[in-house]
A and B are shown apart, each in its own frame.
Chain A
Amino acid sequence: MSANQDDANLLEVRGLTKTFGTLTACDHVDLSVANGEIHALLGENGAGKSTLVKMLFGTLEPNSGEIFWNGRAVTITNPGFAKKLGIGMVFQHFSLFEALTAAENIALSLDDGSPISTIAAKARALSYSYGLPLDPQSLVGDLSVGERQRIEIIRCLLQTPQLIILDEPTSVLTPQEADKLFETLERLRSEGKSILYISHRLEEVKRICDRATVLRHGKVVGHCNPRKETAASLARMMVGNDVEAVVRAPAQGIETAQPLLEIRALSRKPATPFSIPLRNINLTVRAGEVIGIAGVAGNGQGEFFESVSGEVPQQDAASVRIRGKDAGGLSITGRRLMGAAFVPEERLGHGAAPRMKLSENLLLSRHATDGKVFVGAGGMVKSDAIYAAAQRIIKAMDVRKSAPDPEAAALSGGNLQKFIVGRELDRRPSVMVVNQPTWGVDAGAAAHIRQTLIELARSGSAVLVISQDLDELFEISDAIAVMHNGELSKPLPIVEATFEKIGLLMGGAEPGHAEHALETS
């Protein structure tokens, strides 16, 4: 039993530890959440935030440590018990079932056994009262990511929890949707509920959170009041040292530069019933510039990348042109031979083969473009040359690793991403297309990758970056286009772009309408 019974803390965690093999994901973590507060859990990717909340929700079992709920020691063995205590959770990677309706999804997490129609009516009423309108009969597979999150939130609220855990809730929302979410959270706080808010976005933590606990490498490195901190001081706590700011010199004479990547009236039918078609996309990326493509996840960015990279070739050869020549009908290797390079979103299993060495992964993507260097007479692989090239990339990108030539899966996400980006940069490609360059990458590595992309462009290449991270796009892009429902807006020069404008386009507003909405507001 807790010694301080009269403590107002709803949840108190002491010395919680979780190890996976040799990795200590959470190392003696202390945390307390008071009644009626929004408490931030800050940390970089891999700092142990998700592991900690999974232990609080009963999906992971701690190795040691204690959890107190309303001053009483509890052992949370499964999510059912957590729900009974009054803990609700909104997951980062949604725990929804695509083939079921919203109402069925909600019913699955409630144990009261009432009929689906009753639950649907309750969910609809609750969703409207919180201003998060929801059609309970819609199929989850058809919904946008923002709408899916609404289901998660409504499902959580229907269980009338005392503590709501939100894991990186804004990473999939437009700025406007995020504002709406903050209003909801503030309303919940005014109703006396507590919220544990997990994020690595400093501005929003400063905006809505009352207290913050900062994690780094599984350890608590500090508790603070985020309103009294600056974004820079929070970042320093989170990362451990200062992150170098990305420098972007203004691009010179872009208007007259040669177009290196041209996309002309690119359309594509949906590959599966739940995927997005591409609708008449036009875009030109010129030598020397970085074009960013923003958009909420699942609006066709993945389909667009596949079409540009040649993973899915097009019928119309002129729909993708590289360095002035038609490339639409070519495979990914054919497009690489024309001087283009591609970095897909998924690192393991797409960008790299997990169980192969870095040098082998290098050969996999460059056997055609660097055939003379890497492959000798009779198709024999020149291991020494490949090994030397891999070491060159590792050095240039500052890839931290445990062995000279480890398997790709043995590297941390950030280091592997540095290697994969470096592998393509090493060729000095004249066209570089990157999907989510720094997803799940720590701040230091992310800054490094962004800087190298800018430098590549300034040295005369065309760089196209698809990202969900608006901060990143504003840091590196010369112009930003927005993808929504398979359509691409005209690129907005960075001097004209604002979070509001881009956010409205991400939400599906017509380009002209977005301007208008801002002028009148």
Chain B
Amino acid sequence: MDITVNILLTIATAATPLLIAAIGELVVERSGVLNLGVEGMMIMGAVGGFGAGYLTGSPWIGLLAAIALGAVFSLLFAVMTLSLATNQVATGLSLTLLGLGLSGMMGTSFVGQPGARLPNLDIPGLTAIPVIGRLLFGQDPIFYISIALTVAVMWFLFKTRTGLTLRSIGDSHTSAHALGIKVIRYRYLAVIFGGACAGLAGGHLSLVYTPQWVENMTAGRGWIALALVVFASWRPWRVLAGAYIFGAVWIGQLHAQAFGIPVPSQLLSSLPYLATIVVLVLISRNKRLTMMNTPASLGQPFVPDR
């Protein structure tokens, strides 16, 4: 029983950073902006979170620093693509490259240092309940944030007027502009929100997952988050499902490798990617629904003529 609980807990830990980064990118893409710099913003969050936590000794300050650094880094992207109307794909890719390089440089003195770890939740009486206690009341704080964030984004996008406006901009920025909606302002806010989420996801890696700084420690998770958004056809609950499928298969294949199953390890390592894609493609078979949810103006620069 304890093993099952432990496995479930590690799955949640593996899925949380993917979920947060993907939910942030989902909001960005729903506004019609394609930010391929998730990996770069995430690694900046990771190094910033670790650094601030290490220097101040407080993982909570580290958490705030991770969010702030991700947001500031995304602001760079926003200025380039929204105010200067540069190509979003190229700018996003360079943001990733810049983030990977810059974080490596910033983190040289952190390598090998013990970091601060965010404590798990511990509610007297509740956490001690067998099995469900640790699952429901004993996880790290970012896990709870990720779930709350998913629900909040779902509510925001589909139940609020502001969310409707954001989706309309993603559908057609020219129509939105013609109605007098401030397209650029909305997109700025969306991109910064996405950056803050990516930063938080990075902070989870260096403050919870493995509380230390290793260069390149995001290891492609930003790209997986990006793929999740597309395969989940821009719908929050599917992103949640996708992140957890990925996490589960990821942990599963690690255990399988440890047991020495006679399957090449490379094949096992590729399983999470395959499984996630297959499942998400299967649930988005409804072409009509997918069309409705695809932001039609995704990736197109918007320059209002005045």
Contact = CB atoms under 8 A, between A and B. Distances in A.
The winner among B165, B175, B181, B291 for most chain A CB atoms within 10 A is B175
B296 interface: yes
The winner among B161, B164, B296 for most chain A CB atoms within 10 A is B161
Contacts, number: 69
Nearest to B174: A95
Contacts of B165: 108
A91 B306 contact: no
A79 B172 CA distance: 17
Interface string A104-143: 1101110001001000000000000000000000010100
B179 A79 contact: yes
Interface string B162-184: 00110110011011111111000
Nearest to A89: B178
A273 interface: yes
Contacts of B174: 95
Given A100-B164, A113-B161, A95 B179 contact: yes
Interface stretch (A57-65, A316-324, A364-372): A57-65
A83 B180 contact: yes
Chain B interface bracket (under 10, 10 to 19, 20 to 34, 35 or more): 20 to 34
Contacts of A80: 180
Contact of A79 (B164, B180, B306): B180
A99 interface: yes
B161 A99 contact: no
A87 to B, nearest CB: 11
A274 B291 CA distance: 9
Contacts of B291: 99, 141, 272-274
Chain A interface bracket (under 10, 10 to 19, 20 to 34, 35 or more): 20 to 34
B306 A60 contact: yes
Given A100-B164, A104-B164, A273-B291, A95 B178 contact: yes
Contacts of A20: 305
Main secondary structure of the interface of A (DSSP, over half): loop
Interface string A85-106: 0000001001111111000110
The winner among B161, B180, B292, B306 for most chain A CB atoms within 10 A is B180
B164 A59 contact: no
Contact of A78 (B172, B176, B180): B180
Contacts of B306: 60-61
A109 B179 contact: yes
B293 interface: yes
A98 B178 contact: no
B287 interface: yes
B164 A107 contact: yes
Nearest to A59: B178
Contact of B178 (A79, A105, A113): A79
A91 B180 contact: no
Nearest to A83: B180
19 contacts: A59-B178, A59-B180, A79-B180, A82-B180, A91-B178, A96-B172, A96-B175, A97-B168, A97-B172, A98-B172, A99-B171, A99-B291, A100-B164, A100-B167, A100-B171, A109-B179, A113-B161, A141-B292, A272-B291
User: Top 4 closest A-B pairs, CB basis?
Assistant: A79-B180, A95-B178, A95-B175, A273-B288
